[in-house]
Structure 1
Amino acid sequence: MRLQDHIDFTTLQWVKPELDETLAAARDALESYVDNPGNRDAMRSCADSLHQVHGTLQMVELYGAAMVADEMETLSIALLEDHVPQREEAYASLMRGLMQLPDYLERLSSGHRDVPVVLLPLLNELRASRKMAALTEVALFNPRLDAPLPPQAPPAVSETEALARRGRVADLRLRFQQQLLAWFRGQNADQQLLGMRDTLNAITGCCHSTPGRRLWWIAAGALEGLEQGHLKAQAAEVRQLIGKVDRSIRQMLEHGEESLRGGDADDLARKLLFIVAQAKQRSPQMQLLRETYALDSLLPDAAELEHARGSMAGHNRALLDSVSRALKDDLLRVKEALDLFLRQSDADPAQLAAQSEVLERVGDTLGMLALSVPR
């Protein structure tokens, strides 16, 4: 069940105090480690706290936020194992994540919809610290794939009948390969698109389960959109994804329909649905896809996106109170050091070197809070 299904608001409210406490513990542990890199237990504690946050967010099905927690945990472990060359940048990225994630959860707990795409810049910043490739918006697109196919889709057969039709699927796969190759070569493209649609719908009608049927039906819908000219702008991407469908047909033949659950087949289905969701115009089967998988509810409009981005400033009161106390302590220590220095007639300015480092750290913290003038 997704957050917008109402009951998850209650679930999030139930776990949020624990999440806030655990994220605060992770933040304290990170600050302790940055101040004293020899304290490896502090970073282990940070990673353990983030692991707990990740599990809780998965439980309430906030998958975008869970991905952020997972990336932060992975980065914490990479820092602990000395696998991160730019450590200062990684510390800053981790701290930003620990400031922004509570804000995002606070927004959701106040009744706003989950808009995980606003987490993408943070996710990619965390990944960049480990020299990992950037993710695209489709990585945060999570339609409920287990939704039953509508009556308009080719009907399911019994499990016994599906086993009996395994040879038929093998023949259909060969036909699909031939049509796909002809399409790639530009040989009567419209005819091949129609033929592939029919072949995939025929394969759908040879299966008994939702995991066994959904990819072929989704792919057929994307091909219909391409054939009718509604996916011209995404034609190259659709072509690339349809080219991978054959491997999933082979996987089903070799390992059965359940092998398609949660693997490459689901990834293909999500990517095809993302393309369909973005299309301004829709064919009849594209419309069925949008209704079956509630695609319109998964893409925020401009106003909602702007509001969600505004909530990611890292300025929730609990965090500001915590950071404010730490900054005041740092500034008080600098003030005391300056007072002591000024009272000495023969004081060496080199004594103030340590205070410049403290002030630089204070400035960095203010910068992460987007408080540029105080910085």
Structure 2
Amino acid sequence: MGDRHDYVALEWVKGEIAETLKQAHHAIENLLDDPQATQALDDCLSCIHQVHGSLQMVEFYGAALLAEEMEQLAVALQGNRVSHRDEALHLLMQALGQLPIYLDRVQGARRDLPLVVLPLINDLRSARGESLLSETSLFSPQLPELPALDAQALAQLEPAELPNVLRKLRQMLQMALVGFLREQDNDTNLDYLAKVFTRLEALCANAPLSPLWQVASALVEGMQGGAIANSPALRSLFKDADKELKRLLEQGMHGINQSAPPELLKSLLFYIAKAEHPTGQMLTMKERYSLDEALPDSAMVDEERARLA
């Protein structure tokens, strides 16, 4: 899955965006000079709204998210819903100055890294009393959209006594999860998980549900190799995978034509993206879902943040 961004489109709109942001910057300066110049805030909001729309159109997520938070803060200022007005105005001016710099870096480096602007986004959110965003919330890998298998393909994949096969797999999965909870014989439990997910991979072939088992298998391999640690959060995700297995048991073979919940797949992929020493299957998933682009390493993020400072 390659780079989804249209840098030609960005080049077309970047100059106009920079000019519009300058107008918004002047409006805030006027408001700081004259707190009664409320029209200046309306002008600023109009400019930011225009920029936000342009960035949504060219689909640069990090830049669009920053513009969205700027717009939300301007709306809060307009409605007198900000505790420290002058501080919020200066923060908005800072963001207005940094967004064009960020767009220049996106254009030059050919990568849009939302994590680079996360501190500024959180400052803008904090100014209007909103909760802060985490790394996970900005993690946006491109998830697959696989076509449903037809009746003939489903019939070829369906094993004899499918309900019994799925029941046994589910019992093995649940037994492993109970063992993990008690922290008993982790090697055996990982072997159980590996067998369950490998069998489900084969059962689903290239159906819409198959990515879930492929990613889960890679995670288990990572746990077996010491690249990923057993944790309550990870166990909770495996429990969510068990819900998909339960659904499959209830729906039969047609159930493999329904994708796993996107948030579940995204959360499992996040563990693979964060691992410092990925195993073979994990590397396959990292390449398939462009995880290095979706969640770049901290050194790269720090370097790009320094360029914005």
> SS in structure 1 opposite 2:226?
coil
Structure 1 length as normaliser, TM-score? 0.66
> Does the Cα contact within 8 Å between 1:146 and 1:210 map onto a contact in 2?
no
Separation in structure 2 between the aligned mates of residue 77 and residue 167 of structure 1, nearest angstrom = 55
CA–CA distance in structure 2, aligned partners of residues 76 and 136 of structure 1:
22
**Contact 1:215 1:266 survives alignment (8 Å):** no
Q: Which moved more, 1:97-106 or 1:300-309?
A: 300-309
Q: What aligned pairs does 1:178-257 form with structure 2 within 5 A after superposition?
A: 178-207=175-204, 211-232=208-229, 235=231, 237-247=233-243
Whichever residue aligns with residue 223 of structure 1, its letter is V
Structure 2 Cα separation of the partners of residues 169 and 11 of structure 1:
51
User: What do the CA deviations read for 1:292-332 (whole angstroms, capped 9, x no partner)?
Assistant: 1233455556774454223313xxxxxxxxxxxxxxxxxxx
Matched, 1:26 2:28: no
State the AA in 2 paired with 1:132. Answer: E
Matched, 1:55 2:53: yes
Q: Shift in Å at residue 122 of structure 1?
A: 0.6
Q: What secondary structure, in the 3-state scheme, does the structure 1 residue paired with 2:308 have?
A: coil
Secondary structure in 1 matching 2:209: helix
Is the contact between residue 200 and residue 219 of structure 1 (CA under 8 Å) also seen in structure 2? yes
Gaps in structure 2 of 5+ consecutive residues: none
Q: Find the aligned partners of 1:178 and 1:50 in 2 and give their Cα distance.
A: 54
Structure 1 range deviating more: 97-106 or 207-216: 207-216
Q: Is structure 2 residue 262 aligned with structure 1 residue 266?
A: yes
2:149/2:257 contact within 8 Å kept: no
Instruction: Name the counterpart of 2:271.
Output: 275
CA distance in 2, matches of 1:43, 1:87: 12
Q: Which has the larger radius of gyration?
A: 1
Q: What is the CA-CA distance between 1:182 and the residue it aligns to? A: 3.2
> Is the CA contact (8 Å cut-off) linking 1:79 and 1:87 kept in structure 2?
yes
- Corresponding residue for residue 290 of structure 1: 286
Q: Distance in 2 between matches of 1:167 and 1:25?
A: 65
Q: Which has the higher contact order (CA 8 A, sep 6+)?
A: 2
CA RMSD of aligned residues (A): 3.7
Which amino acid is the alignment partner of residue 212 of structure 1? L
Distance, in Å, in 1 between the alignment partners of 2:16 and 2:129 is 32
Deviations 1:95-116 (A, max 9, x none): 1111111111112223453333
Identity of aligned residues (%): 36
Structure 1 unaligned blocks of 5 or more: 149-155, 314-375
Change (3 A) 1:50 1:159: farther
TM norm structure 2? 0.77
